[in-house]
Amino acid sequence: MSCEALIYFKSGRVRGSQAPCSVDPVGAFRFGHAFPRLIGQMDRSARELGVAEPSRFVWHDPIDDEGELDKVSAGEFEALRRKHEATKFWVPLDEGIRTFAALAGRHELRPEFGTPTDLEHALAFEVACFHAALRDAAAEGEDAFHVQCY
């Protein structure tokens, strides 16, 4: 099972896993680690709220499944990379913001939840961080994204 999710933007920029300052002003926490484990619960909430399911934002790079890439020539690797790049899709940023805003309303991040190791707090923390990261990206001029899980 995947253990980390990162946000990739169409511009080529990748959003690291440091929690956005608006969620974690001290910079003590990282986000994206619980996303792969909580995606089912996020999807259920999204369906109930009538917004896009976060699993629709995930793109799996098929080159990760090729195996033994160290045994192919540079030309063969480049051909594989081009073939797999063609499968990449981009989600409009406003769709992601809408989804995570709705989820943040349902799974509110509250101090009484305790630490990010508590399930409800972890879910609320992931949702709040993805929402803030996408909002920040929109303010910086990004327009499309996808999530990759590793």
Asked if residue 145 lies in contact with residue 91, where contact means CB atoms within 8 angstroms, the answer is: yes
Asked if residue 31 lies in contact with residue 129, where contact means CB atoms within 8 angstroms, the answer is: yes
What would the mean pLDDT of 49-62 be, rounded to a whole number?
92
Asked if residue 36 lies in contact with residue 1, where contact means CB atoms within 8 angstroms, the answer is: yes
CB-hemisphere CA count at 13 Å for 17? 14
For residue range 95-140, list pLDDT tens digits in order: 999 999 999 999 988 766 555 558 888 899 999 999 999 999 999 9
For the chain, domain boundaries: 5-62+90-149
End-to-end Cα, the chain, rounded Å: 8
**Which among 35, 59, 39, 36 has a CA at the least distance from the CA of 47?**
39
